[in-house]
Structure 1
Amino acid sequence: MEQISNIQVVSCSSSNYLKPFRVHYSQNGTKKYWDFMRTHDSVSVLIFNTTCHCFILVKQFRPAVYMCEWEKSNPQHPEVEATEGDETLENQSEPPPASAGVTYELCAGLVDKPDLSLEEIAKQEILEECGYDVPVSKLRKITSYRSGVGVTGAKQTMFYAEVSDENCVGEGGGEPKEGELIEVVKIPLQEAMNFAYDESISKTIGVIFSFMWFHSHMAPKYKISTNV
């Protein structure tokens, strides 16, 4: 995960995950347009291990985050479109460490299997990414919301799942054949809210929101302070 090299930025002519469009419309008589990306909806899961009273998160390298950090550290760096024979970005400026692109996230996945329900997709992601076998009946829907409303407008549905060490049937880590390289991370309940608000730790809004939801809805059940 920490060994990132041979970085190039090239134009994207086609993608299995993102398709750019421009919509023209009139609003209150004024002609406007907006650029957007069509992409898949997704599911995410807040996993709580009742054996060790900890949350199960995933940690992985995100190229988009990495490139944002690189551009931030090189504000004068021109936009590069690499073609055959061009130098890589690494040869043009000093790249940040790979850790700049690593984020903590909820277990999650794309809704790209029309024959499966959202719960079934969530179950698969929990097993593939985190190694826990959770019955669909044990998944509790928290809510759904729009993510990336300015660019994609996709919907993410968030679930909650309680697991124990007995449910752990593998190491997780994602699907290597899909290029996934995921590290499973345990966040103790007592440290969760400090973790959520620590700006030095790169994380998704889903982690913050789900920890807050747990504090409001589930912590009283366990009669445990979450150190808010």
Structure 2
Amino acid sequence: MENVSKIWLGPLPADSPYVKPFRMYYIQNGVEKNWDLLKVHDSVAIILYNSSRQKLVLVRQFRPAVYHGVITSEKGTFDSVDLQSFPPSIGVTLELCAGIVDKSKSWVEIAREEVLEECGYDVPVERIEEVMVYRSGVGSSGAKQAMYYCEVSDADKANSGGGVDDEIIEVVELSLDEAKRMLQKGAVNNSPPSCLMGLLWFFANKAPAAV
């Protein structure tokens, strides 16, 4: 799904619509300090459960930041990346359906749009339940994220999903046993904390009693 043929780095444009780096200065306990920060968009994430199939619905996609992080953790640098030694697949993640808050709509309406665009389910906002609100990237951005839960069925399927514009997103149906294995001690996942937290919440609060 990656279809990535060339990767290189460049300077961040000053007019980036997604990331704004800056330095905050403050005095704490009488000592002047500073901290380098990133201004990023707040976001929503949605736990999706298809009751017709008894499957959790997640998304798989190539994340450049994860690809960069995997390589620099191993090599220490990102110079002269060999796609044979470091295939783009190492930057592919398994995540909850999610999206940034960049529209003048309510957060739950944005969540509904993401469910339709990424996963292909058309559901009214009344069926989308707020789970919790928290802060992500507390060392770099402190961005706000709201997590939602939505139970869907095959009858709600309106299209194949996959994202909009130039997004390349694969819809993944995960059995409950497969999801549990992601949460076992010693598991190594290319998944963000919000995904793992969402799965834990699902099993604690929504999973069928027989599971």
**TM-score of the aligned structures, taking structure 1 as reference length:** 0.86
Residue 158 of structure 1 aligns to a residue whose secondary structure is strand
Aligned 8 A contact 2:2 2:61 in 1: no
Aligned 8 A contact 1:196 1:207 in 2: no
Aligned 8 A contact 1:6 1:90 in 2: no
Moved >6 Å (runs of 4+)? none
Which AA in structure 1 matches 2:135? R
Between structure 1 and structure 2, the one with the greater Rg is 1
Structure 2 gaps of 5+ residues are: none
Deviates more, 1:14-23 or 1:201-210: 201-210
Match of 2:205 in 1: 217
* 1:180 is the counterpart of 2:167: yes
User: Deviation per CA, 1:23-45, whole angstroms, max 9, x where unpaired?
Assistant: 11100111000010111100000
Shift of 1:207: 1.6
Match of 2:134 in 1: 145
Match of 2:53 in 1: 52
Q: Distance in 2 between matches of 1:191 and 1:64?
A: 25
Seq. identity, %: 43
Q: Distance in 2 between matches of 1:190 and 1:184?
A: 18
Which AA in structure 2 matches 1:181? I
Q: Distance in 2 between matches of 1:128 and 1:186?
A: 16
Aligned 8 A contact 1:25 1:33 in 2: yes
Structure 1 gaps of 5+ residues are: 81-88
Residue 12 of structure 1 aligns to a residue whose secondary structure is coil
Q: What is the 5 A alignment of 1:189-204?
A: 189-197=176-184, 199-204=187-192
Aligned 8 A contact 1:145 1:157 in 2: yes
Which AA in structure 2 matches 1:223? A
Which AA in structure 2 matches 1:110? I
Which AA in structure 2 matches 1:208? L
Q: What is the 5 A alignment of 1:20-35?
A: 20-35=21-36
Match of 2:4 in 1: 4
